[in-house]
Amino acid sequence: MNTINGRIGGPVGGYSLECRMDDTGIYGRLGGPIIGADINLKKDPKGMFLEGRIGGAVFGKDLRLEIGGDYARGRLGGDVIGNDIVLSSSNGKITGRCGGVFDGFDVNLIFNPGTGKLAGRLGGIIFGMDVNLDLSGVPPLYGAVLAAATYRFYLESHLGGKSGGSGGG
């Protein structure tokens, strides 16, 4: 079975991420049973577009992404209240940004194909969170997108939507 399992942040002050992926989409949950959100995303047959909802009908966000071999770009949330996600991948390193200059955060992750580990940092050195995910049969960019979405949900539920830090370099 193709899965994404792990944690954004530490044992205290973070969110778990548990998903399964099949030919039609990605389904699972971020956070816990009380404070968290369901993940219900559909893939097109070629796996180039990911679209759906994270959270419920009232408290949730739409996710629309185009995913290529070395990039992912799209939007989490609506046209007015939302965040762009722009990621690129090269030799196992995934970098990019979720959100704008002032209200976003950097994405700096590394995928180890030998172990299936996706690890790194979202946000800045001081204000940010570590990523520790196990990917089984899931392309690393999909894991990175869900890590960024999970961190965005964490920020909005704990910090009122403020950024976890922008590295700026």
What pLDDT is stored for residue 28 in this prediction? 96
Task: Give yes or no for a contact between 116 and 135, defined as CB atoms under 8 angstroms apart.
Answer: yes
Give CA–CA dist 115/135, Å, rounded.
9
State pTM to two decimals. 0.90
Q: Say what the pLDDT of residue 127 is.
A: 85
Q: pLDDT by residue (tens digit) across 106-139?
A: 999 999 999 999 999 999 888 899 999 999 999 9
pLDDT of amino acid 169 = 39
Bridge partners, 97 (sequence order)? 86, 106
Q: What is the mean pLDDT of each run of 10 residues along the chain (169 residues)?
A: 94 90 95 88 92 86 94 91 94 95 92 97 90 97 96 81 47
